Amino acid sequence: MNLTLHVWRQAGATAPGSFETHRVEDISEHSSFLEMLDVLNEGLLREGKEPITFDHDCREGICGMCGFVINGEPHGPKSKTTVCQLHMRNYKDGDEIWIEPWRASAFPVVRDLVVDRSALDRIIQAGGFISVRTGSAPDAHVVPVPKRDADLSMDAAACIGCGACVAACPNASAMLFTAAKVTHLGYLPQGQPERYARANAMVATHDEEGFGHCTNHGACQAACPKDISIDTIARLNRDFLKAPRKALAAK
Ligand code: SF4
Ligand code: FES
């Protein structure tokens, strides 16, 4: 198939950006979207031009590196699918496609379609861990976990930190990401000692990093390639509200 691409080009965070138009031809419907961009980049390199910069690593939908907005939709038109797993059979010959980076002030553009998502790392550093004594590994079943809790924790742990939820949200909120991390640990016995402090610290860092507040639009859940539910945000809010009461009770 032959396509017209309008791709966002930007040299850096403070440089002005604009769309650049390219034609790609003879693209197989079996190619992934990233393979289609590889073909475009090979052509640009042959012409001595600067290739389009985009993030990727596993290309299997598991690492969270890839991601940009395609025709206004983070990760493109297919639900529960990362852009590396999106295939060109979802498009038709002659289509015009607009490609741009995640738009959020907390995600400054590094170059073209690559944004700096280290703000998400800093939210995890604030509380997305458990403190345990070091030493030999305990037996696997020494702390029993109810099946329901294990399943809900595992569902939340599916978050790959791609940032599509932020790009989809009209408030550029990272609440779905933060809630997934809080929920993942909050359902496990090992996550209980720091549960409320964790919610407080991660939400505080979320706000400091410049992400917006959740106003229940639900666009994050619709864009999430890992189907993280906004139920996790309700759970985060409950943990967050309990934190001050626990601190007061301790005084
Ligand atoms: S919640 Fe979903 S959209 Fe947001 S970072 Fe995690 S996997 Fe990506
Ligand atoms: S490249 Fe790893 S999830 Fe897309």
The protein residue with its alpha carbon nearest to ligand 2, atom 3, reads 61
Most ligand 1 atoms within 8 A of CB, residue of 224, 232, 235 to mutate: 224
Structure pTM? 0.93
Cβ(159) – ligand 1 distance below 6 Å: yes
The protein residue with its alpha carbon nearest to ligand 1, atom 2, reads 224
**C-alpha closest to that of 153 among 197, 194, 189, 205:** 189
User: How far is CA 135 from each of CA 132, 138, rounded to the nearest angstrom?
Assistant: 9, 9
The answer to whether 165 and 224 are in contact (CB under 8 A) is yes
Ligand nearest to the Cα of 34, by number: 2
pLDDT in tens, 34-53: 999 999 999 999 999 999 99
The Cα 87–Cα 67 span in angstroms is 14
CA 22 to chain centre: 27
pLDDT in tens, 69-119: 999 999 999 999 999 999 999 999 999 999 999 999 999 999 999 999 999
